[in-house]
Amino acid sequence: RLPAALAEVGYLSNPVERRRLLDPAYRERIAQGLLEGIYNFLGL
């Protein structure tokens, strides 16, 4: 058994979330947050 994660960070059908997801800086913040969560899970 391997750990798994599903991250649903926004919906393109929502105009506000769509605008945010089109911003590279916003996507970078999401990616950094996901990475930090994975590191915390692994105890790194």
Domain-located, residue 33 = yes
- What are residue 7's phi and psi, to 5 degrees? -115, 115
Domain coverage including residue 22: 12-44
pLDDT per residue, tens digit, the chain (44 aa), is: 888 989 999 999 999 999 999 999 999 999 999 999 999 999 99
pLDDT of 3 reads: 86
d(CA 34, CA 9): 10
Total structural domains within the chain: 1
Question: DSSP state, 3?
Answer: -
Domain-located, residue 44 = yes
Domain-located, residue 18 = yes
pLDDT of 34 reads: 95
- Rounded to two decimals, the pTM is 0.78
pLDDT of 20 reads: 96
d(CA 26, CA 18): 11
Domain-located, residue 19 = yes
